[in-house]
Amino acid sequence: MSAPLLIEIGCEEIPAGGIAGAAESLGRRIVAILDQAGLAHGDASAWGGSRRLAVRVEGVEERQADREETVLGPPARAAFAGDGSPTAAAVGFARKHGIPPACLVAVRTDKGEYSAFRRTVRGRSVGEVLGAGLEQAVGGMSFPKTMRWGEGAHRWVRPVHWIVALHGGEVLPLVLFGIEADRHSRGHRFLAPGAVRIADAGVYAAELERAFVLADPAARRGTLARQLAEAAAAESGEIVEDERLLEEVADLVEWPGVVTGRFAAEYLDLPREVLVATLRHHQKAFSVQRDGRLLPVFLAVANTDRDPAGHVRRGNEWVVGGRLEDARFFWGEDGKTELASRVARLDGIVYHEKLGTYREKAERVAGLAGALARQLGLPEEEKGAAERASLLCKADLLTGLVAEFPELQGVVGGLLLRREGVDERVAAAVYEHYRPRGPDDDPPATELGAVLSVADKLDAVASLLAVGERPTGSRDPFGLRRATAGIFRIACERSWGVSIGALWELSALATGGEQRSEIFAYLEQRLGDFLRERGFTLHEIDAVLQAGGGTAAAALPLGDVLARLEAVRAVRERADFRKLVELTKRASNILRQTAALIERSADAGWAPGAAIAAAGAARRLEETIGREEPAIRTAADRRAYAEVLDHLADFAEPVAAFFDEVLVVDPEDPQGTYQRHELLARLGSLLTRYFDIRELPGDADRRP
């Protein structure tokens, strides 16, 4: 018999940022308990909300299957007398296990002959399995901060108040954090504050919805997105999209509602970025726009869809008005001092105890930005602008706005420079230099912004690695993985002619002139991770980075890496290309054989003659190489890698014919073998020059 399993842990309000991860962790732990016990089950769903974490696993077996086991006793020589009767040792062993001594038999094992008996072990029920492992699994969950409650006997993210544990309609005999599980959950704190009886694990979500709780986070997000769109449309506008904020507020509420508030139109004089950040940061509210221009309207999220007396709306408006007034004050005060005059004061802000101040960092970034601009072939004037932007890019750390809104670092500096009338190239570069802040953020839109962003991130990666701040496991306090991914993304999407080898050489400017091998190793490792995160398989990545004898990883421009990978992905399922992959690997294996034969032969000198001329398939292959090689080189020079692969695929037929018709390795003909070896070596060099397609076997039919 199988039935759905439901475990719900009800507690005080969990911080929104940790709910999704905690729900997933709880789901993994419960599934691991079931798997370890050998209990068959279906898919698992993990749900999280502000006051509860829940997991439902479909089709969980009621109990483990019974099993037979052999229990070993004393060695046979000690358990049985010469006439086969049990000795005192055997009688004691039998008494210990509650069986008659006559049940003991001699069995042979790897360690010799022992006395033993067979018994049937009844399988444990799902309740017994969870009862034995759930408390340790739940108690071992990791949270940034935890709390103790009661007499301090229990510690978890928040004090726990109820437990629901059901297998189908049966309550499981579980105790967690001193609370006995039952079938009663809790409804919405205000709209339905009483107990909610869950008759069966399969109706959990429906029963809670009747008590004004949307248990499924996706349902809450969908409801909120619809309500926000409707509220914005009622103001003849649309919300300013903010997926991260939507994810956060969806976990703050159990029964979503949207409140429309207003503020004084005079605050629209604030920069758009400052106004939006104020609403988001202080009130977790969405901005509203019409035709790209902000409206004096905000949308706040509430834990109820009703506000009959308008108290929730007025409270939000009161707070928003005060926060916007603070933002206007900071914007005015920050503008009274030129950004450049703040640079000297960066000497008073420590970047890292082993790396000095932010002013020293800015100077290192300026050197990197100038060198990178020169490597990219930018005009001297652009190089100078990049260096000026580098020296200014950290100065806004000393502004009131950044102190209030740390997420606006760089943005505030760019806005202040624009207000001062500084060169727009410099202002834009400062404004953009933290981008992309993550995988969902846009990269810099300007070339100098991209140069400054890469220089800043490369300085962070190289200098911090050099002083031992390497990320480990899930720990990356300085965001070096994110910074490296940003470097690669910018270089790839802008098709820069910069390789990880070139980045490594530049990194010496951040480490006092020393090229450190661990920095190159880190860049190489993170490039593979970055490409896998973009959906490429390990075999596809190796086919590109191992080209040319493995030199491509260090020397290949990052823009080329992406272009070659896209080309490989496009052709690898074609029948002719799959055939060529196998033939190339065969050619490589034969080359090793011919090389060994030639090495043993005293007569291995090249003497052109009849060997190739007499073999039609060999001659056709030689002609194909002569015809295709220039075309492949021309296509590669144009970075038309799809054409390169099309030309390579044309070798499938002549290479197959060559292997069918020609005896490549002939011990009786070392001179001919050498000639055929040279032909295959030329072929192998061409086939692996831009793509080492030998890396693809075993994965050629699988997509990521």
Of 183 and 572, the one with more pLDDT: 183
Residue 326 near residue 283, CB atoms below 8 Å: no
Residue 9: is its pLDDT beyond 50?
yes
Among the residue ranges 429-433, 509-513, 679-683, the one predicted with the least confidence is 679-683
Q: Which fold, 340-534? A: Hypothetical protein af1432 (1.10.3210)
- pLDDT value for 615: 58
Residue 603: is its pLDDT beyond 70?
no
What is the tens place of the pLDDT at every residue in 70-87?
899 999 999 899 888 899
What is the tens place of the pLDDT at every residue in 605-662?
544 444 444 457 888 888 888 888 999 899 988 888 888 888 888 888 888 888 888 7
- pLDDT value for 700: 42
Place of tokens 């919805």: 209
Residue 140: is its pLDDT beyond 80?
yes
- pLDDT value for 600: 61
Q: Where are the alpha helices (DSSP H) in 470-516?
A: 480-493, 500-507
Task: Specify the DSSP element, H or E, that contains 115.
Answer: strand 112-121
- Taking the C-alpha atoms of residue 454 and residue 456, their distance in angstroms, rounded to an integer, is 5
Let me know if 373 is exposed, middle or buried by CB neighbors in 10 A (0-12, 13-18, 19+). buried
Work out the pLDDT band at 699, boundaries 50, 70, 90: very low
Cα dihedral 572/576/581/582 (nearest 10): 130
Residues 6+ apart with CB under 8 A from 426: 385, 388, 389, 392, 417, 448
Structure-token pair, residue 498:
């910069």
- Taking the C-alpha atoms of residue 106 and residue 384, their distance in angstroms, rounded to an integer, is 89
The average pLDDT across 166-184 equals 94
Residue 540 near residue 572, CB atoms below 8 Å: yes
Mean pLDDT score across all residues of the chain: 89
Question: Taking the domains of the chain in order of start, what are their residue ranges?
Answer: 2-63+125-210, 67-121, 217-334, 340-534, 569-695
- pLDDT value for 160: 95
- pLDDT value for 598: 63
What is the tens place of the pLDDT at every residue in 305-314?
988 899 999 9
- pLDDT value for 604: 46
Backbone torsions φ then ψ of 208, nearest 5 degrees: -65, -35
Residue 257 near residue 302, CB atoms below 8 Å: yes
Residue 551: is its pLDDT beyond 80?
no
Residue 7: is its pLDDT beyond 50?
yes
Backbone torsions φ then ψ of 216, nearest 5 degrees: -80, 120
Please name the amino acid found at residue 598: I
DSSP, collapsed to helix, strand or coil, labels residue 507 as: helix
Quote the pTM value.
0.79
Residue 10 near residue 161, CB atoms below 8 Å: yes
- Taking the C-alpha atoms of residue 118 and residue 116, their distance in angstroms, rounded to an integer, is 7
What is the tens place of the pLDDT at every residue in 25-50?
999 999 999 999 889 999 999 999 99
- Taking the C-alpha atoms of residue 543 and residue 299, their distance in angstroms, rounded to an integer, is 50
What is the tens place of the pLDDT at every residue in 363-389?
999 999 999 999 999 999 999 999 999
Structure-token pair, residue 521:
């190793």
The average pLDDT across 439-457 equals 95
* DSSP strands (E only) in 309-452: 350-352, 356-357
Work out the pLDDT band at 485, boundaries 50, 70, 90: very high
Q: Which fold, 2-63+125-210? A: Alpha-Beta Plaits (3.30.70)
Of 581 and 603, the one with more pLDDT: 581
- pLDDT value for 552: 65
- Taking the C-alpha atoms of residue 653 and residue 359, their distance in angstroms, rounded to an integer, is 63
- Taking the C-alpha atoms of residue 321 and residue 329, their distance in angstroms, rounded to an integer, is 12
The average pLDDT across 676-696 equals 80
Residues 6+ apart with CB under 8 A from 567: 641, 642, 644, 645
User: Treating both helix axes as pointing N-terminal to C-terminal, what angle do 616-637 and 670-689 enclose, rounded to 10 degrees?
Assistant: 20
Q: How far is CA 678 from CA 6, 547, 631, 658, in A?
A: 68, 20, 21, 14
CB-CB neighbours of 59 under 10 Å: 12
The average pLDDT across 104-118 equals 90
